[in-house]
Amino acid sequence: MAARTRRDNMWSLVFTLFCLIDRSVAQISYTISEEVDKGRVVGNVAKDLNLSVQQLQNTDLQMASGYRKRYFDINRESGVIFVCERIDREELCPNLAKCFLNIEAILSNPRSLHRIEVLINDINDNAPFFLEEAITVDISEASHVGERHPLPVAHDADVGTNSVKTYKLNTNEYFSLDIQSAGGQSVSAELILQKALDREKEPVIELILTAVDGGKPAKAGALQIKVNVLDVNDNSPVFSKNLYKIQVTENANTGTTLLTLSATDLDEGVNGQIVYSFTEGARLNPEEIFSLNNNSGEIIVKGNIDYEEYQAFEIRVQARDKGSTPRSAHSKVLVEVIDVNDNAPEILVSSLMSPIKEDAEIATAVAMVTVTDRDRGKNGQINCKITGSVPFKLKSNYKNYYSLLVDGPLDRENISKYNISIEATDEGSPELTTTAVIALEVSDVNDNPPRFPGSHINVFVKENIQTGTTIHRLSTFDSDLDENAKSMYSLLNSPKNTQINSMITINSNTGDIINLHSFNYEELKSFQFKVQATDSGVPPLSSNVTVNVLILDENDNNPTILAPYSEHGSVNSENIPYSAEAGYFVAKIRAVDADSGYNALLSYHLSESKGNNLFRIGIILSHPMTAHRIELNIVDINDNSPAFVESKHSLNISESSLTGERYPLPVAVDADMGSNAVKSYKLSQNEHFSLDVQSGGEHGVSAELVLQKALDRETRSVITLLLTAIDGGKPPKSGSINVHVYIIDANDNIPSFSQSLYKVSVKENAPLGTPVIKLNATDKDEGINGKILYSFIKRGNTDLTNIFDLHSETGEITLKGNLDYEETHAYEIRVQAKDQGASPRSAYAKLLINVIDVNDNAPEISVTSLMTPVREDAQLGTIVALVTVSDKDGGNNGVTKCNIIGSGPFKLKSNYNNDYSLVVDGQLDRENISAHNVTVTATDEGNPPLSCISVITVQVADVNDNKPHFVEPVVYIYVKENRPLNSKIYTVRAFDPDLDDNAKLSYKLLDNAVENIPISSSSGYRCWCSSTKRQCDCQYTLKSDVVVFPAPFPPVDAELISINGGDTFTRTQTLPNKDKTAQLKKNKKKKR
């Protein structure tokens, strides 16, 4: 019962408020900080509305809001609004610059509705924070001073001065901080390089970025930044030695390890991985003999090493890293070959006088013998001798040069051929020996005359022998050979043989003696002649034989002394000095013999008195044989110019090479020797390189290119030099080669955006795939160092890749997701252009994408504080509800107009901006219309305009403005007599257009004319009457009023009973008598 009473009172209050005379919507603003204590006073409504305490108590002030929590309450006695719940601005208004809480104050007597706006001021109760506790930033050590690197943005739930205002960086020597403010938006920071990085000294730099807000006191949040210094190939490999020296024995086995090169590179990764190789420059290609392991630097024997061919190898080696722009170092390896006694001496026979005449004198040179040994040292020292017993000997001339001389008499007829064994032995260990056999033929000398079998030959010729008959064939024997042994026969001429010549003849070739005429023994019984047999040698030798025949000629020809000396018996004189010594040449006597063969071999002797041997005769040969070694020293003249094997030479040098780096150049070859060989090199005038000429002693002169000035490929990509080799001749000769230096690109240029800030506008709801903008960045480098990849830089929680698609290669940005101006007006995007070098470098730009609003949102109508139902007796201007119109679009698209469609007893009253009050604007009659559907339309000014409709159902509350009335004003009831008591005889019905209690009727009798008739006060039959007691007991149930039974005239005993406060009551009423009832009926008839 009590709860029901309270509800009735509340409805009374609401209905009463709608019936107040003064109606208004006022705007009251208060400001309070968040997180204040409960009970903190916000403001005084009574004071701000100029209400006294008495007026405040009469207005029955109430507060309402649409929040889940009741943040504020009001003291109804003082009008003070106070905090009754914890207020957290960040929870209520996240990401909003200003936070408002709207509450509504409802007053009565007079009725008014006030909107109260409470501005919640931010306090610095949140510290800045980063989405990550630590990040890693990769920065190339080749980055230039001044390069920028964006840093993450700190977040702070607070706003205004309490939000992030600045950043700080811990003290360090490499980086500074550039703080950028985007006006009313967030503050960002960029890392700026202040000092060149060197990964080899400091590969990791630890930084702390601190975000500081503007609160007092300020709060801060920190971010650990780990800067990884990315390696670039800025260090050349370094050999452990500039010159490696190693010894190896010749004939070393294949696979023998000589040495392992060692080079280091301070760089890391591929920039520090070293590949070893041989380089050009030497005349000998080392790869034919040696193998170099590219990875380990191990040099092993690959081919045969022959000391006799090369006593040393000068090898140029290179250590080259694997960087995208590789860098190299060069060194020399001097391999000294240790001689092994692997070569036996070699015997060379030259100027061999074979055959040699058997009459050669002692010490006659037969041949020149040269002994060589390709080994060196003791291995090359040779002892040479003749083995066996032969009439020859070796005479040392000079070093290993010998003469083979006759050392005894030769006799061809005894030994016609000598196999002379010469043995040469070196002094190596073990010693090696070589034997050479010289086959020496002994040539025949005509030293044997033809010999007849005897000194006399008896030939018997018969008389009367036929003319022409061979009477005898002579024969001889000659130990000599060939022509020296060929005999010719002839008769020796003499005066006595004159007749013989006419008697016989001798065949000179066959030795046949032929008679020319027959002999007459009686005339000439015998005759004697001499026959000479002469050989064909030079000088010829001959022998004679006496032929006793009938006629036989004898060899009677004597040698003849030539002029100026006379024949035998003549006297000639020669003058000699008195002081002539023994051996003094006095005269030369020449003689000839007409005979041939042995008979022509002359000998001389003096016919002097015995004991007086003052003179002797020596034989002088006309053509004696002598042997001499002649050495010709060929003096070189400068008739050859230096020449390079190649017509041109190419070098690839990185533009990041440091000054002082060296590059070996090709070696020029000069066929000349000594001072006429290559002595120097010259380089054409240029600004980048100089020449270092190095003398390698017996290994020649070489040159290296030395970098003097830093290279820049972007300025000059190819440098052509002229290298000239000059010999030492007078005048000198030279040869040249073009050296093309190709500058290899290094990633030394940062990509550059065409704009530091790109601005573009895109309509919201643009189709997916719509081009937004095409970024353009360039890089002066080439190849992968100049190939750019574009990407977004994530900052904050927004994943831009869900909205925009950035083509990494072309830089074209297209729409990938839906743009909603109402959600985000603009996008501030950081973009990166990053090259693809081994140590990539980046550039950054900002892209501001403004979203152009499209009228894609219809206005929205919000109805608050709806006072329904509204009493039907509400006065004009009574506030029914507050209507707020909003449109998410901006500009004209968000400007709205609000109207009511159709006619009705309501209108919209503009309060301010898009706030309206729905007020009563006509008479309400619940019995006619119990509910009004008020159609409110809101239309924006977009093109085309959009509108929305909201139907506000306003229920009309009943007011007891209608009296009950009977369905029938006069009722005639006919009742049979003797009806039982308490039986129903008729139901009286009345009707009231009002509702509920206003329409709930109670019935009563206005007079006592009828006895023993009960009547129900509410339904017409709830009263019970007794005929004996002549009274009725009736129970009445009333809510708000008493419904008086109607009558066409004031009843005689009419009684108006007013009930105040009670729900039910019981009364006893004496029924009217019959007369009165009859009179009542009569009066009713008259009235009609």
In terms of phi and psi (left: phi > 0; alpha: psi -120 to 50; beta: otherwise), the region of 35 is left
pLDDT confidence of residue 1063: 35
pLDDT tens for residues 708-761?
Answer: 999 999 899 999 999 999 999 999 999 999 999 999 888 889 999 999 899 999
Q: How confident is the model at residue 1081 (pLDDT cuts 50, 70, 90)?
A: very low
567 vs 864, residue with greater confidence? 864
Same domain, 214 and 164: yes
| pLDDT at residue 283 in the model | 62
- Which is more confidently placed, 1025 or 244? 244
What is the average pLDDT across 1040-1044? 33
Within a domain: residue 847?
Answer: yes
Residue ending a domain, choose from 338, 369, 389: 338
pTM comes to 0.60
Strand pairing category for 72-74 and 62-64: unpaired
CATH number for position 209: 2.60.40.60
The yes-or-no verdict on residue 687 having pLDDT over 60 is yes
Classify residue 144: in a domain, yes or no: yes
- The CATH number assigned to the domain holding 1080 equals 2.60.40
For residues 1020 and 981, which has the higher predicted lDDT (pLDDT)? 981
Instruction: Kindly calculate the radius of gyration of the chain based on its CA atoms and give it in whole angstroms.
Output: 75
Segment among 488-497, 852-861, 1051-1060 with least mean pLDDT: 1051-1060
Q: Say if residue 936 is in the same domain as residue 1039.
A: no
Report helix, strand or coil for 260: strand
pLDDT over 80 (residue 1047) = no
Dump pLDDT digits (tens) for 438-484. 999 888 888 889 998 888 888 877 777 788 888 888 888 888 888 88
Q: Does 74 have pLDDT greater than 80?
A: yes
Helix (H) or strand (E) segment spanning residue 58: helix 53-59
For residues 250 and 226, state if they share a domain: no
Of the candidates 208, 230, 252, which is a domain's last residue?
Answer: 230
Residue 847: its pLDDT value, please?
92
Residue 639 confidence (pLDDT) above 80? yes
Quick check: is 56 in a domain?
yes
| Residues 735 and 766 placed together within one structural domain of the fold | no
pLDDT of residue 508: 86
pLDDT for 23 beyond 60: no
521 has a pLDDT exceeding 90: no
Q: State the pLDDT at residue 464.
A: 75
Q: What are phi and psi of 145, to 5 degrees?
A: -60, 135
Share of the chain above pLDDT 70, in %: 82
Residue 253 has pLDDT above 80, yes or no: yes
pLDDT score for 21: 28
Which pLDDT score is estimated for 610?
54
Are 839 and 791 part of one and the same domain? Answer: yes
Residues 557 and 654 in one domain: no
The pLDDT value given to residue 294: 94
The residue count of the chain comes to: 1088
State whether the Cα torsion 672-674-675-681 is positive or negative: positive
SS (HEC) of 963-1029: CCEECCCCCCCCCCCCCCCCCCCCCCCEECCCCHHHHCCCCCCCCCCCCCCCCCCCCCCCEEEECCC
What per-residue confidence (pLDDT) applies to 26?
A: 47
Query: Is it the case that residue 675 has pLDDT exceeding 90?
Result: no
Closest CA to 531 of 511, 510, 503, 558: 511
| Per-residue pLDDT tens digits for 857-911 | 899 998 887 878 888 888 888 888 888 898 888 888 889 999 999 888 999 988 8
Whether 985 and 1086 share a structural domain: yes
* Percent over 90 (pLDDT), the chain: 33
Same-domain check for residues 864 and 899: yes
Spell out the residues 6+ positions from residue 893 whose beta carbon is closer than 8 angstroms to its own: 853, 854, 855, 857, 887, 940, 941, 942
Task: Say if residue 1023's pLDDT is above 60.
Answer: no
pLDDT of the residue at 697:
60
What is the per-residue pLDDT for 496? 63
Q: Is residue 945 reached through a cis peptide bond, with omega within 30 degrees of 0 on the bond before it?
A: no
Residue 271 falls in which region: left (phi positive, over 0), alpha (psi -120 to 50) or beta = alpha
- The answer to whether residue 914 sits within a structural domain is yes
User: What is the bridge-based pairing of β-strands 931-940 and 401-406?
Assistant: unpaired
Looking at the predicted structure, is the pLDDT value of residue 1073 above 60? no
Residue 1008 lies in a domain: yes
The listed range with the strongest mean pLDDT (150-159, 259-268, 1017-1026) is 259-268
Classify residue 690: in a domain, yes or no: yes
Is 1016's pLDDT higher than 70?
no
Which single residue is written with the structure tokens 């960029």?
190
User: Can you give the residue range of the structural domain that contains 160?
Assistant: 134-230
Same domain, 1025 and 1064: yes
Q: Which of 338, 363, 391 is the last residue of a domain?
A: 338
* Predicted confidence band of residue 1053 (pLDDT cuts 50, 70, 90): very low
How does pLDDT run across 333-387, given as a tens digit for each residue?
999 998 888 889 999 998 888 888 888 889 999 999 999 988 888 888 899 999 9
Confidence of residue 632 (pLDDT cuts 50, 70, 90): low
Judged by average pLDDT, the poorest of 107-111, 230-234, 1010-1014 is: 1010-1014
The 10 Å Cβ neighbour count of residue 400 is: 21
1023 by Cβ neighbours in 10 Å (0-12 / 13-18 / 19+) ranks as buried
Residue 153 is classified by DSSP as P
CA 1088 distance to own-chain centroid: 118
Same domain, 969 and 1085: yes
Q: What does the pLDDT read at residue 504? A: 81
State whether residue 927 is helix, strand or coil. coil
Query: Do 1008 and 952 fall into the same domain?
Result: no
pLDDT bracket for residue 93 (50, 70, 90): confident
Based on the structure, what is the number of domains in the chain? Answer: 9
Q: How far apart are CA 1015 and CA 998, in angstroms?
A: 21
For 385-415, write each residue's pLDDT tens digit: 999 899 999 998 888 899 999 999 998 888 8
Is pLDDT of 245 > 90?
Answer: yes
pLDDT at 1034 over 80: no
Token look-up 């190095």 returns 694
Query: In terms of domains, do 163 and 86 share one?
Result: no
Position 650: which residue type?
A: S
**Interval 584-610 mean pLDDT:** 64
239/25: higher pLDDT: 239
Question: Which of the four pLDDT bands, split at 50, 70 and 90, describes residue 593?
Answer: low
Pairwise CA distance, residues 43 & 374, whole Å: 121
In this predicted structure, what is the pLDDT of residue 1042? 33
- Domain-located, residue 330: yes
pLDDT in tens, 781-802: 998 999 999 999 887 667 888 8
Whether residue 492 is predicted with pLDDT greater than 60 in this model: the reply is yes
Instruction: Give the pLDDT confidence of 152-162 residue by residue, as tens digits.
Output: 999 988 888 89
Mean pLDDT of all residues in the chain? 81
